[in-house]
Amino acid sequence: MLTFLHRRLTAGLLALALIAGLAPLASAAPNYITAAKTQRLQVIADTIKGLTYAASTGTASAPSLVIGSSSFVTTQGTTGVTSSTTGVCAIIPLPVAGISVSGTQLSLESSAQSANPVASCTAANAAVITNAGVIAIGSLTVGTSSADIVVNTTTVATGVPFTVNSAVINHP
């Protein structure tokens, strides 16, 4: 009986560790702002305690999707991201209501939106920034297929619109 309980406890702790994101992540996994990580762990703690959690409160502000070259640093928590930040090719405003969650996917309603680039570059990575210019989700991949942010071309030219075909972030 003790062995059975030990196996159940071990399996339960492993499941909680995976849910909390404590398992090793692939190098291309998105990284999140610390406040989101903390809230995710709080939800896990509340679940363990048998509490019911509620949706966030407050007034939502419109975020933006930033498309950048390989020199654009996408570290979560970085502040002051603007169109003049090194490596930024384009900043695409996102509607507040255009962010949805389904299972382990976060979708951004930027699909089929055109953007006018602020700089010419080869698009290589992306980030989602708050309305205050803080990177909330970084390390996103950009490509014409099999990427977090799928665009019509990775060759970005100033004054030539390009299109975001899909923006789906898979949570590890």
Residue 159: pLDDT band (50, 70, 90) is confident
DSSP string computed for 106-150: EEETTTTEEE--SS-EE--EEEEE-TTS-EEEEEEEEESSSSSEE
What pLDDT, on the 0 to 100 scale, is given for residue 70? 94
Q: What is the pTM (predicted TM-score) of this model? A: 0.73
Beta bridge partners of 63: none
167 Cβ partners below 8 Å, 6+ apart? Answer: 65, 107, 108, 109, 110, 111, 148, 149, 150
pLDDT, tens digit, for every residue of 2-51?
Answer: 343 334 434 443 444 444 444 433 446 777 777 777 787 777 777 767 77
Q: Do 88 and 82 contact (CB within 8 A), yes or no?
A: yes
DSSP 71-85: TS---TT-----TTS
| The token pair that represents 130 in the structure block | 């708050």
Residue predicted with more confidence, 170 or 124: 124
Q: What is the mean pLDDT of the chain?
A: 79
**Which whole number is the average pLDDT over 147-157?**
94
Residue 61: name the closest of 32, 35, 94 by CA. 94
